[in-house]
Amino acid sequence: MPQNSFKAGILGTGSFLPENRLTNADLEKMVDTSDEWIVSRTGIRERRIADASMTTSYMATEAAKKALIDANISAKDIDLIIIATVVPDMNFPSTACIVQANIGADNAAAFDIEVGCSGFIYGLSIAKQFIENGTYKNILVVAADTLSKITNWEDRNTCVLFGDGAGAAIVGPVENGYGILDTYIGADGKGGKHLYMPAGGSRMPASEDSVKNKLHTIHMEGQEVFKFAVKVMNTATIEILDKCGLKPDDIDIFIPHQANIRIIEAGMKRLKLTNEKVFINLDKYGNMSAASVAVALDEASKEGMVKKDNIILMVAFGAGLTWGSTVIKWNK
């Protein structure tokens, strides 16, 4: 194709969610909490939980298969696989390599990125560059996490928040004027101490004490993360709209990270968006890390909420601390 005659866009999407549901009523039997407390502070009513044998790569594979079908292409057509996860099957090989083998994408390069809940936006940003500079034609971006496997189920402040799931997108060339108009990504490593898993790496290798003290689970300073999220939701939104030369009124669909209903409502208020323009599935799935925005995009598309020519704004934030936003003119 001639230079600049096309943009990178999303050719197909897919998602996978475990069947097991963990409701707030179930959590009331596990820790000192209540349905009223969880709903009023988070908006979450239930979440999906992978069983003991279900891996992150399994969920990613199932989501990828659905995205390939939706895009009407073969796994052999995939040139690159990017998996965003903080709960890989193992430290190495990468989950992307495992998924490559699972789907038979023999012609694809493959790697993982670890950006917390911002992972899907980061993945789209990377894929956009490779497509638009002509390096690759079809890229599979998957966001998948089994957060239940690194959750401390005795910590009522964190165990009510998280769920498992996977979302996928095939990124490829689309007609100029459509697709991923731009992306904005960032990080503030000084805030990493507010959301992290202490053990399991070179700083604190696994030991009897690290396991006994539950150091292989999510540790979070909720108030600090909340303040960061509210602030960065606004900043990331303003930055990406400015880059695209758009105003809040131009947004047709807003798909925010599904972390907390109060954060989402704060974003809606700043953008002056009505409920009809905002996609929320937080109540059903909780916070699925990077998979949250990916699953929401797939569901919004499948439910007919997203239509051709719609302007979609997606924003996410997560461990690192990191953030990302993107604007897409839907081409499907």
Looking at residue 21, what is its pLDDT? 98
Q: Do both 251 and 132 map to the same domain?
A: no
Domain range holding 257?
181-329
Q: Do both 166 and 198 map to the same domain?
A: no
Q: Do both 111 and 185 map to the same domain?
A: no
Q: Do both 38 and 172 map to the same domain?
A: yes
**pLDDT tens digits, residue range 4-42?**
578 999 999 999 999 999 999 999 999 999 999 999 999
- Whether 162 is covered by a domain: the verdict is yes
- Whether 113 is covered by a domain: the verdict is yes
Query: Which stretches of the chain drop beneath a pLDDT of 50?
Result: 1-2
d(CA 247, CA 314): 14
- Whether 1 is covered by a domain: the verdict is no
Q: Do both 60 and 163 map to the same domain?
A: yes
Looking at residue 204, what is its pLDDT? 96
- Whether 317 is covered by a domain: the verdict is yes
pLDDT, mean over the chain: 96
pTM, entire model: 0.96
Looking at residue 4, what is its pLDDT? 57
Q: Do both 152 and 168 map to the same domain?
A: yes
Q: Do both 19 and 140 map to the same domain?
A: yes
Looking at residue 1, what is its pLDDT? 37
Q: Do both 203 and 118 map to the same domain?
A: no
**Total structural domains in the chain?**
2
Q: Do both 60 and 198 map to the same domain?
A: no
Q: Which of 157, 177, 197 finishes a domain?
A: 177
- The CATH code of the domain that includes 227 is 3.40.47.10
Looking at residue 99, what is its pLDDT? 98
Looking at residue 6, what is its pLDDT? 85
**pLDDT tens digits, residue range 100-153?**
999 999 999 999 999 999 999 999 999 999 999 999 999 999 999 999 999 999
Q: Which of 142, 177, 212 finishes a domain?
A: 177
- Residues with a known catalytic role: 117, 257, 287
d(CA 128, CA 179): 9
Tell me the CA end-to-end span of the chain in Å, nearest whole number.
20
Q: Do both 27 and 148 map to the same domain?
A: yes
Q: Do both 116 and 232 map to the same domain?
A: no
Looking at residue 5, what is its pLDDT? 72
d(CA 226, CA 231): 9
